[in-house]
Amino acid sequence: MKRTSRAAWGRLGAVLMPLIDLVMLLVLFFALAQGVIQQPLIELDLPKATQAKENERPGSEPVISVTDQGDINLDGEPVTMDVLASALSSQGIRMVRLRGDGHVDYGVMKRVLSVLRAEGVPNVRLMVSPYDGNEESP
């Protein structure tokens, strides 16, 4: 059984060290960039809530936005109910964030929630604006 000398390991380490440094820098870059990259959001007048909490993991799940006109967007892209259903089922999505304008017809929100239930999405986070006490009570 041949043993490798310390000098050989030292040369190997000197060759691998820049590669290891490069890989670590790439991992660090992508880890930090993930938190900075945010999906474009449709401008909505979100309802106010006194118990609103900050999202612990921004950008980690798809965002469904419903405008006051009843238009539906998935991650900033306009979609129909059928396209929404097929996108949810094909990607195996388990959690979504739902943003509904404060003036949207409740029937539209109910249809979106029905699609989410039918496609097996068990977790829906409703996005609201925090109530700061200056406006009319929520």
pLDDT tens track for 25-65 = 999 888 777 665 555 566 666 666 666 555 555 556 888 88
Looking at the structure, tell me whether residues 59 and 19 fall in a common domain. Answer: no
pLDDT of residue 17: 84
Q: Which CATH number goes with the domain that contains 112? A: 3.30.420.270
Looking at the structure, tell me whether residues 118 and 55 fall in a common domain. Answer: yes
Q: How many domains does the chain have?
A: 2
Q: Is residue 136 part of a domain?
A: no
Looking at the structure, tell me whether residues 12 and 52 fall in a common domain. Answer: no
Distance CA 120, CA 56 (A): 23
pLDDT of residue 25: 92
The count of residues in the chain is 138
Q: Is residue 52 part of a domain?
A: yes
- Please give the full DSSP string across 90-127, using - where no structure is assigned: HHT--EEEEEE-TTS-HHHHHHHHHHHHHTT--EEEEE
The candidate with the shortest Cα–Cα distance to 123, out of 61, 57, 38, 77, is: 61
Looking at the structure, tell me whether residues 54 and 106 fall in a common domain. Answer: yes
Looking at the structure, tell me whether residues 124 and 62 fall in a common domain. Answer: yes
Residue ranges making up the domain that contains 78: 48-130
- Residue ranges of the alpha helices (H) in the chain? 6-36, 81-91, 106-118
Looking at the structure, tell me whether residues 70 and 15 fall in a common domain. Answer: no
| Tens of pLDDT, residues 91-134 | 888 888 888 888 888 888 899 999 999 988 888 888 776 666 66
Structural tokens at position 65 = 């936005």
Compute and round to an integer the Cα radius of gyration of the chain. Answer: 24
**Strand, coil or helix: what is 10?**
helix
